[in-house]
A = this chain, B = another copy of it.
C-alpha cells in the first residue's frame, strides 16, 4: 500500500509542533514527507528543509501549492503547523487545489478567518483535519464509546481542566513569544492554546455542545497581553453543567489535561499524563481501572493501540492516531469508498466550535465574566 505523499508548511528549526507532526505521520508508515515550506523566511525554509533531507523545498507555501498541484507525483496532503494567524492563508491555497489539509489547532487566530476557512473547506473536494490530538488517545476513544453506549447514564456534570506551568514567569523563547502575542496567537492566550483542547475533549467524549458560558480570564504575569489563566463555567445544551479551567501559571502542572464526566449511573475519569488508564466509577460499585488494550478494551480503543497492555503508549502515539485515521480517510476518499468503521478525526466543525469557545470566553471576560451564548 503506497504511502501518502505529504507536504509541510511551518515546522522549521526550533519549532516544537512541526517535529511532533512529522513523527506522528511516520509512526505507522502511512505518509512520506516529500515537500516543505518550513519557515516564513526563504533562507530558514531552505535550511530547515535541507536538514530534514526533504526532496522538494519551497520558499513559501503559495509556491509550493502551485507547483505541487501541477506535479503528477505532487503531494496529496499538507500539514500546516505555523503560528495560528497563518493557518487560513496557507490552508486556502491547498484547499482550492483539492489538496487535503491537516491543520494544527486552534483553527485560526480570528473569528473572521475562521468563517473564511469554513467556506474554503466547503468549497473544496479535499478533506480537512484539525489536530486536536488528544482525541487520538485510545482511552479517550474508549470513554466516548462508553458514554455513547449509555454506560454512565444521562450526563449531569463535566469537569475538565488543562493546567500547565511553563508561563509562570515571563519567558522569551520562541514558543512563548508567539503564543503570548495576540497578533499571531489570537485574542485567547491559555484559552486558545489549551482551553480549546479541553473544550474539544469534553465535546468529543460527551457528545454535548456548550450553549453558554461565563469566563473569568486573567493575565497574571505583568505585561502579558493575553490570558494565562481562565476560569469558565459551562452550560451544555440539554441541561448538563460544567467547569473548565485552563492555566499556564500553575506550578507543578506540566501538561495536566484531565476530564471527569458524571452521569446518572456512573462516572469516567481520564488524565493525559497517565493516558493508558480510564477510571470507570459505576454508582454503588467499586471503581474499575480500565487499561489500554487490556481486559475489557472496546474495539474503538483496541484499533488505535499498537502494543499490549502494560506497555505504555503516549503523546506521540495518540497524535499518530489522528494522522493514521486521516490516512484511512484519505485512502477511502481516493478510492471513492467510505472509510473503515471507527475512523474518526477532528474536522472543520470542531475547529469552528473551538473558535466559538475562544470568542465567547473573551467576550464574557470583557463583560466582567457575564454569561454569553455561543453562536451556532
Residue positions of A touching B, CB distance < 8 A: 1-2, 16, 19-20, 22-23, 26-29, 53, 152, 156-157, 159, 161, 164-166, 168-169, 214, 216, 218, 220, 229, 231, 233, 235, 241-243, 245, 247, 249-256, 260, 262-267, 269, 272-276, 279-291, 294-296, 306-317, 368-371
Q: Is A245 in contact with B159, judged by CB distance below 8 angstroms?
A: yes
Given contacts A27-B26, A231-B243, contact A310 B254 (CB under 8 A): yes
Given contacts A316-B306, A316-B317, contact A369 B252 (CB under 8 A): no
When the two chains form the complex, which single residue of B23, B157, B254, B285 contacts A296, counting CB atoms closer than 8 Å?
B285
Q: Is B252 in contact with A214, judged by CB distance below 8 angstroms?
A: no
A-B contact pairs, 27 of them (CB 8 A): A22-B29, A26-B29, A157-B247, A169-B283, A214-B216, A216-B241, A247-B262, A249-B262, A251-B263, A252-B287, A254-B311, A272-B310, A272-B312, A274-B274, A275-B312, A284-B295, A286-B295, A286-B296, A287-B291, A288-B289, A306-B316, A311-B314, A311-B315, A312-B312, A312-B314, A314-B317, A316-B316
Give the docked Cα–Cα distance between A252 and B295 (Å): 10
Given contacts A156-B220, A368-B371, contact A279 B252 (CB under 8 A): yes
Q: Is B251 in contact with A281, judged by CB distance below 8 angstroms?
A: yes
B residues near A274, Cβ cutoff 8 Å:
274, 312
B residues near A229, Cβ cutoff 8 Å:
156-157, 241
Q: Is B315 in contact with A315, judged by CB distance below 8 angstroms?
A: no
Q: Nearest-CB distance from A298 to chain B (Å)? A: 12
Q: Nearest-CB distance from A172 to chain B (Å)? A: 15
Give the docked Cα–Cα distance between A209 and B168 (Å): 23
